[in-house]
Amino acid sequence: MAPSFDKDLMIVLNDVARVIRTRFDQRARAFGMTRAQWIILARLSRQPGMSQNEMAAICEVEPITVGRLIDRLESRGLVERRADPADRRIRRLHLLPGAQPIIDEISRYKDELHAELAQNVSGDDYKRVVDALLTIKENLSASPKLAMAGE
């Protein structure tokens, strides 16, 4: 028997992810930014020196889209492009000091949202959910991708 929609894992995961994205969209807008710009800043704080193409792959968008987002971040004095010393065609992305207050806000909000996610869930249950999701992610990553219809 198929699970009801309110207990279907894929639907629940999608719903939770959508609510989290919506919350981050709202918080980023309060700072005159987009969630995509916040993702770029957060990623650069962990991995400085990424190229626009690397960032586009992580964000799952086209390089031109990341280029426009970087243009806006650059105009706000938050990010700069630097030439790659080994390949002049590549521009590496680096945070500027002005980005730090926003990085701090992203971190604060992430902690706040994490506390809300864990509310009314025991520590053991929370750990089991995370472990199960990591296993599911590993299973999906190891599986061969299915061909799209018509390919």
92, 80 in Cβ contact below 8 A? no
Residues 6+ apart with CB under 8 A from 56: 62, 63, 65, 66
Sketch the domain layout of the chain as residue ranges.
Answer: 19-142
Which pLDDT score is estimated for 133?
92
Looking at residue 146, its pLDDT comes to 59
Place of tokens 């990010």: 79
CATH topology of domain 19-142: Arc Repressor Mutant, subunit A (1.10.10)
**Rounded to 5°, angle at Cα 31 from 27 and 37:** 80
pTM for the model: 0.79
| Average pLDDT, 10 consecutive residues per value, the chain (151 residues) | 74 93 93 92 95 91 93 97 91 96 94 92 92 91 64 50
Q: Is 139 exposed, middle or buried (0-12, 13-18, 19+ CB in 10 A)?
A: exposed
From CA 72, how far away is CA 33, in angstroms rounded? 9
For residue 75, what pLDDT is reported?
96
CA nearest to 93, candidates 38, 47, 57: 47
* Beta carbons of 49 and 92 less than 8 angstroms apart: yes
**pLDDT value at residue 2:** 58
